[in-house]
Each structure stands twice: as C-alpha cells, then as structure tokens.
Structure 1
Amino acid sequence: MKWPLLQLKHVARFGYGDSLPTDEVQSGLVSVFGSNGPYGTLGRANTLGPAIVVGRKGSYGKVNWSDEPCFASDTTFYIDASTTLHSLRWLYWLLQTLRLDQGSDEAAVPGLNREEAYARRVPLPPPNAQKTIARFLDFETHKLDSLLAASQRVLDLLAEKRKAIIATAVTRGLDPKVKLRDSGVPWLSEIPAHWEIERARWLFRERDVRSTTGDEEMLTVSHLTGVTPRSEKEVNMFEAETNEGYKLCEPGDLVINTLWAWMGAMGTAPVKGIVSPAYNVYEPGPRLTPAYIDALVRLPAFAQEVTRYSKGVWSSRLRLYPEGFFEVYLPVPQQGEQRAIVAHIARETAKLDAVRAATERTIALLKERRSALIAAAVTGQLDVAAVDGAYGGADAY
C-alpha cells in the first residue's frame, strides 16, 4: 500500500507545555503530564481531550496518551485536536515508530528538538485508514500488553521465590523438621536449636591494608549485585587519577559500603582486588564459609538490622562503622551445614534463573513483535482493513 510521504510538520504541530502555576493550589482532577507520564493533578487543563504528550526534556521522545484534557508541563510537547486535523490515536501509534528519543542538539540539557522532529517524513494514509489502523493496533497491542504483564508477574514471583529460598536456608537450615529455639535476636527470631549465635566481633576482624600501586582489580559494592569486579559492570562514575591507597581485600572478605549499608550494599569478594578507602573490609574467621556469609548479609532483614547500629542524622545518610557492625549478632551453623546450605541455594536458584532467562526471552520477543506490528501497520506494510471487522469497527480518535 503506497501512501504519500509528508514531513511531520504538515501532519501535526507540537504545542509547548506550560510551567506549573505557583499561584494555584496544585490539586484537582486534571492529570499533570511530564516527560515520563502523569505525576500529579491540577485544577485546570491546558490541552483538549484526548491528547498526546511527548517528552521534550529528561525522558525526551517518550510518547504518552491521555483520554481526557490534561495539563502538559513545560518539559513536554502536546498534540490535540487544536494542533492536528488527523486521527490522534493513529498519530499516537505513528509517533512511537519515529524514535524521537534518539536525537538531541542540546549537549548540556538533552532534549527533543522540535524542528528536527518536524523534518521527519511519515506516510499519510487517508482518514478512514487512519482510524482502521488505530482500531487494529489498540486491539492487537492490548493482547500483547496482557502477555507482557503476565510475563512480568512471573519475573516478580521468581524474584520473591528466590528471596524466600535464600532467607529460609540461611536462617532456618535445610531440615524442615529441625527443632527450633528462640535466638533472642529480633531480626532472626527462631533458629535451629543446634546453631550458635555470635556477635560479629567474634567472627570477623577488620582488614585495613592499602594498595601501594592501585593496579589491582577494582571491585564495586552494590545492594543489587553484592561485590563484583568493575570490569564486569557498565558503570559511569567518578574515577580517581590513581587508586593508590585503596583498600585491599582477599577472596571471601566481607566488604561493606559504609554509606549504603542501610540499603544492603555489602557482600563477600569473589576475587582479590581493591575497594574505595571509604568502605570497610572484614576478614571472616575460620568458623565461617564466605558464600554462606554473602547470602546472609544480603538479606533485606540484615540490612534493616545493621541500620540500628549505623550513625547519622538522616536515614538516607546513615553510616555503618566497624564498631557498629561488630555489635550485630549472626547465626553460626557448623561449617559442613553452611556448605550444604550454599550448595542448596545454588541448585534451587539455578532452576529459577533458567525460568527467569526463558521468561526474559519471551518478553524480548513480545516487545519485538509489538514494535514490528506497529511499524507494519502505520507504514501500510500490513493490510489491516481485511481484518477490521474483528475489532468492532468503532471509531478511533
């Protein structure tokens, strides 16, 4: 199907959003749209309804839809019936194929350049075809979006299952029939009766050895991934001119990001390396298996516990110093049981990871299918008129 190609400026005009009024109470029933979508309400609108809101700053190029009149903020453009004569819903789908997020002429504050967007050439189907395309895509993408939402729920359930497997194993052991006793430690509650409880001061000693060259492997400490080599992660962060004086850590050492311990930024080092001088490094004693400690300290409940021993005025600026960490109580199974727990966690999480990887592949394929479907429909590569009856034939905006 061949439709004429026109520059976008001949199809629609981008209206500028407005600054939020400071002299009005920012409450009401009208949605306020920023570049990422709705984020508040106001008592009046500055668009007609429905409207398309396109990110101009920040998440520029992102295309949002509002069924009702809305307030487009000053970080956005908008399109409504006052700025185009064409089907708004068709235009909404068309804009998603233009990759408006892939270009900016403003280095200091990246944004969508309206003139560059206007210069894009787009196929212009006749009005009836625009409405047919909109109906088709509304119906088909709804089905795909439902599948995507279901797949995301699977990922969420897998993540929760993973947390539960690890938490149960490191605080209750592997025998569901084992006799339990009150640990006397609120964050642990009951533990197997034969396990011991010790303060961290009797299980670790602080290691403060500095690199003389700074040439060792740089390690990062995150609440999401624990301790990992920086070379394995995509990080954009400040790098010092030299790493001389950074703290050395050995494989199996516990490394705690002093500032972000309250978020769970800690774990055991997988390899020898160096970490920021602001972090604390602890050498585990002979009663501990490093992999068991890694699983234990990365429990959300453990992060909450160390918060009690952190110092600072604001919760987001708490710091966990050695004297605070050494006050924390930890469960200590026999080393053979620790190793069994680690092996169990590895087996069970490997099964979950396989399902997660398959689900992520499904999500990627669904997203590819969705994008391809939209592109084929709005460019005329897919004849949607032949199946229009399946969608009820109701008019689209």
Structure 2
Amino acid sequence: MRRYPAYKDSGVEWLAEVPEGWVMKRLRFAATLNPSKSELADLDRAEEVSFIPMEAVGENGELDTSRTRPIAEVETGYTYLRNGDMTFAKITPCLENGKRAMMRDLIGGIGFGTTELTVLRPRSGQTTTEYLFWLLSSPSFRKIGEAFMYGAGGQKRVPDDFVRDFPVALPPLPEQTAIAAFLDRETAKIDALVAEQRRLIELLREKRQAVISHAVTKGLNPTARMKPSGIDWLGDAPEGWEVRPIKSVAKLAGRIGYRGYTTADIVNEGEGAVTLSPSNIRAGVVSFRESTYISWTKYEESPEIQLAPHDVVMVKTGSTFGEVGYIADSSIPAATINPQLVIFKEIACLPEYLFLSLNAAHLRSCIEVSNTGGTIPTMTQETIGNFRVALPSRPEQQMVVDHVRQATGKLDALTATAETAITLLQERRAALISAAVTGKIDVRHLAPQETEAA
C-alpha cells in the first residue's frame, strides 16, 4: 500500500515517524478517562439501564446489552458508561486477549459495567469513538500496556496513568473517519476468511470423528456379516467381534488415598518426575510441557501409575474432562499422573486400538452423560471400567489402526494448513491495524470507496 508523501519524527520510539499533519498528543487530551457519573443526578434511580459484566464484552469488539438493572443497584461499585464511549478491559488476561467495545444501543443510552473496564469518551473535535476503537485495537497498545501492568498473577491491571499518558498521533478528523472505515471494511474481509477456515476445521474434525467411529464399530469390510451387539448405541457389529467392558480389557489405575500428593511433594523442574494434569491432554495428544513436578520419593511410591510407552490415559475430572491420550513415543520422561487422571495398563488388545475406541463418537457421548460433578465435570473409575468397546481379532485391530492412521493423517494435514492460514490472516489483520493508525500506510485514496459503500 502507498505511504504518505512526507513524514516527521514523532519523538516516540515505537511510533517512529508519523505523517506530517498528524498531531502528537497524550491520550487524555483526545479523550476523557472514566467520566463522572454525576451527570446522572437528575435521573430516576428506578430507571433501568444496561448492565455490562466482563463476559458481555468480546475479543473482537462484540457487545451484549441484553442485561439490565435499575440505576439504584449499580450506581455504586460499577463503572459508568454511555453511548459513544469506548471501553477496554484493563485486567489480565482480558487486556492481552483484546476485550474492548464501543458503547452502542445501551438502554436509555446509559450503562454500568464491571470496574475492570476502562472508559474513554472522545473529546469533541479531537477524535471519534470509531477511531479510538481501532487505536485501542492496535497490537502496540496492548503490548505496551502489558509492560505497565501492576499487581500479581491474575490480578494484574493497566493503571489509569498509563492510559492518560499514552502517546498517540492523531490525523485530522476526516482522515480518522476514512481510516476507521477502511479498517472496518478490510478487517471484515479478513474475519470472513478466518470464519471460513474455522468452518473447514470443524468439518474436518467431524470427518475425522466419523472415520474413527466407523472403523472401531463397523470395521473396514463393507460386506461383512453383522449381528446384534446387544448395546443400543452400538447397534449391529461385525460377526466375530466381541463387545466387552473396558475393565475386562485393561487394568485401570489412578492416584487414590494416601498416595495422593500435597504441595510439599512439588519440586522444581529437573528435581523430580513429571505429573500429568488435565491440561496436559488435549485432542488425543499427551504433552509433557508446562507440567508440575513431584519428588522422586513420591514418584516411586506409586509404581502402578508410572507412565510407560503404549499406555493410554484419560481425564476423569477437570478442565479437559473425557480427553484421552496415547503414549506413542518410546522416549518419554519419568512421569506419573495426578488424581484427576486414570491410566489403562496391561491392555489385552492393541493399545492404540483401545485409544481409538475411547475416541469414538458413541463413547464420547457415554462420557458426556456420565458426568456426576457440578461445576467440575467428574466420572468414577468404575464408570469408565463399565464402558464397552467392540473388539475384532488382533490382525483386524492392526488393520483398523493402520487405516485410521492413514485417513486421519490426511485430515490432520488439511487441518494444520487451515490453522496456519488462520494464523497468517490474524497476523495480517494486526499488521494492517497497526500500520493504519500509526500512518505507515495512506488510505485516504480509499475514502471514495467508503462513501460509495455507505
């Protein structure tokens, strides 16, 4: 894209040069920070207004205004907003994730929201809500904001002083309008492409699931004689296949009783064994990264749950409830599991075949309805042991495994391509926003297109 004909030094390192004619300001001179709610003094306290909790603000500018409360309930302890304000989340990780929104369609034009929102009201003649939206969408704003956060852990916040003193280069108002319109249009195109790739990924996942489910319940021979399995969700199974409970196919082992560990058993990396948790198992993959480590003494205390190649592991409670992983790699670190997982050992069929069976659609449904937890999904080892799998002969198990590997390998390659495309599109989107609001590209010649589109 074309650049501006002339630039000047901004005096700000990360901004570098900006177009001549753009004015350098601190953000407080372009917008009022956290306006006073005193302007509501004459309103009836029973009047309903929009209520904006953090979950009502999206990472792409979405805003849910469906919640309402009377002013009397929210005027103390909440952040005041009105139509035309620009807000962003100041707390981690919401800031880093880009939660922000323009206030529009508020009930009565007024709202109150979580105190973790910072409010900016454009000053007349200086900037607009739409342009502020894109300024605060810039990767530079979020990245620099992260460096200024204070507090500990999940309570780190961007201070108001950072926002007040944040340097911006403001073009003339007509140019701000042109830039905002350009970004509206171009990011919408990118977002549409990202949505297409995500739909493709979802279709590929559904196809992958169907390939696995059919292979481990109906086999690979379309002309095979079938017989009733005696299980409603399984229907007919090929003749010669056995339908058996998992507890007759494998030994289930997990941390129980005194063998559970406490914080006193946790050590630093390199000083003990990896302990897998629910977050280490996703999409069939067992990851040993970002793990907890326990002392060698505690590790040796429970040899029956020490991980070995060809073990199958399942999450029985926690964030990735029902996820199943297969230890395919022969070279793994010394590792065990925490009480939220269970290991399948002494497997009487091909371990990888059991892994595939546990990922079939019918068993995924059984797992979902077996949740006995409240806010934390949970199922017992006894429940898992009673799940049933359909087992062909050992040679046919190998044929199924080989077939699924080949078929899902192709699907996984297509999925990886789509995921790469999403990453590149998102990088393109971020770069476009940054270039436009810092004047690295000139979009003024595109303004007529915006007018025509309007």
Question: TM-score of the superposition, structure 2-length normalised?
Answer: 0.73
Alignment root-mean-square deviation, CA:
3.5
Is the CA contact 2:272–2:295 (under 8 Å) kept in the aligned structure 1?
no
Which secondary structure state, in structure 2, belongs to the residue aligned with residue 263 of structure 1?
coil
1:248-288 C-alpha deviation (Å, 9 max, x unpaired): 233223334443599313344334653236344332444x1
Aligned to 1:141: 187
Aligned to 1:62: 99
Matching of residue 93 in structure 1 with residue 93 in structure 2 = no
Q: Pick the aligned partner of 2:111 from 71, 91, 107.
A: 71
Matches of 1:177 and 1:123 in 2, distance apart? 71
Matches of 1:165 and 1:343 in 2, distance apart? 12
TM superposition shift of 1:394 = 7.9
Matches of 1:160 and 1:302 in 2, distance apart? 15
Is the CA contact 1:178–1:192 (under 8 Å) kept in the aligned structure 2?
yes
Aligned to 1:21: none
1:194-242 C-alpha deviation (Å, 9 max, x unpaired): 31112233322356899xxx95665555552446251xx335x5x4445
Aligned to 1:105: 150
Aligned to 2:411: 352
Matching of residue 116 in structure 1 with residue 162 in structure 2 = yes
Matching of residue 274 in structure 1 with residue 335 in structure 2 = yes
Q: After the TM superposition, which of the residue ranges 158-167 and 98-107 deviates more from structure 2?
A: 98-107
TM superposition shift of 1:126 = 1.0
Name the aligned partner's letter for residue 286 of structure 2. T
Q: Pick the aligned partner of 1:52 from 80, 83, 86.
A: 86
Aligned to 2:426: 367
Name the aligned partner's letter for residue 71 of structure 1. G
Q: After the TM superposition, which of the residue ranges 66-75 and 144-153 deviates more from structure 2?
A: 66-75
Matches of 1:87 and 1:228 in 2, distance apart? 49
Runs of at least 5 residues in structure 2 that lack an aligned partner in the other structure = 1-18, 38-44, 72-79, 260-270
Q: After the TM superposition, which of the residue ranges 55-64 and 9-18 deviates more from structure 2?
A: 9-18
Matches of 1:170 and 1:17 in 2, distance apart? 64
User: How has the CA–CA distance of structure 1 residues 277 and 9 changed in structure 2, closer, same or farther, with 3 Å as cutoff?
Assistant: closer
User: How has the CA–CA distance of structure 1 residues 163 and 84 changed in structure 2, closer, same or farther, with 3 Å as cutoff?
Assistant: farther
Matches of 2:104 and 2:335 in 1, distance apart? 54
Aligned to 1:251: 309
TM superposition shift of 1:325 = 3.5
1:366-385 alignment, distance < 5 Å:
366-385=425-444
User: How has the CA–CA distance of structure 1 residues 249 and 33 changed in structure 2, closer, same or farther, with 3 Å as cutoff?
Assistant: closer
Name the aligned partner's letter for residue 361 of structure 1. T
Matching of residue 156 in structure 1 with residue 199 in structure 2 = no
Q: Percent identity?
A: 24
Name the aligned partner's letter for residue 95 of structure 1. L
Runs of at least 5 residues in structure 1 that lack an aligned partner in the other structure = 19-23
Q: After the TM superposition, which of the residue ranges 81-90 and 373-382 deviates more from structure 2?
A: 81-90
Which secondary structure state, in structure 2, belongs to the residue aligned with residue 13 of structure 1?
strand
- The structure with the largest helix share of the pair is 2
User: How has the CA–CA distance of structure 1 residues 261 and 289 changed in structure 2, closer, same or farther, with 3 Å as cutoff?
Assistant: farther
Matches of 2:102 and 2:274 in 1, distance apart? 47
Which secondary structure state, in structure 2, belongs to the residue aligned with residue 326 of structure 1?
helix
Is the CA contact 2:281–2:320 (under 8 Å) kept in the aligned structure 1?
no
1:226-245 alignment, distance < 5 Å:
226=284, 228-230=286-288, 233-235=289-291, 239-242=293-296, 243-244=298-299, 245=301
Matches of 1:362 and 1:262 in 2, distance apart? 26
Matching of residue 390 in structure 1 with residue 454 in structure 2 = no
Is the CA contact 1:187–1:305 (under 8 Å) kept in the aligned structure 2?
no
TM superposition shift of 1:317 = 5.2
Matches of 2:316 and 2:128 in 1, distance apart? 55
Name the aligned partner's letter for residue 120 of structure 2. I
Which secondary structure state, in structure 2, belongs to the residue aligned with residue 106 of structure 1?
coil
Name the aligned partner's letter for residue 130 of structure 2. R
Matching of residue 299 in structure 1 with residue 360 in structure 2 = yes
Which secondary structure state, in structure 2, belongs to the residue aligned with residue 104 of structure 1?
coil
Aligned to 1:41: 67
Q: After the TM superposition, which of the residue ranges 176-185 and 5-14 deviates more from structure 2?
A: 176-185
Aligned to 1:290: 351
Name the aligned partner's letter for residue 9 of structure 1. R
Question: TM-score of the superposition, structure 1-length normalised?
Answer: 0.82
Which secondary structure state, in structure 2, belongs to the residue aligned with residue 163 of structure 1?
helix
Aligned to 2:23: 4
1:19-30 alignment, distance < 5 Å:
30=50
Is the CA contact 1:254–1:284 (under 8 Å) kept in the aligned structure 2?
no
Which secondary structure state, in structure 2, belongs to the residue aligned with residue 360 of structure 1?
helix
User: How has the CA–CA distance of structure 1 residues 340 and 79 changed in structure 2, closer, same or farther, with 3 Å as cutoff?
Assistant: same
Is the CA contact 1:376–1:382 (under 8 Å) kept in the aligned structure 2?
yes
Matches of 1:207 and 1:130 in 2, distance apart? 63
Which secondary structure state, in structure 1, belongs to the residue aligned with residue 67 of structure 2?
strand
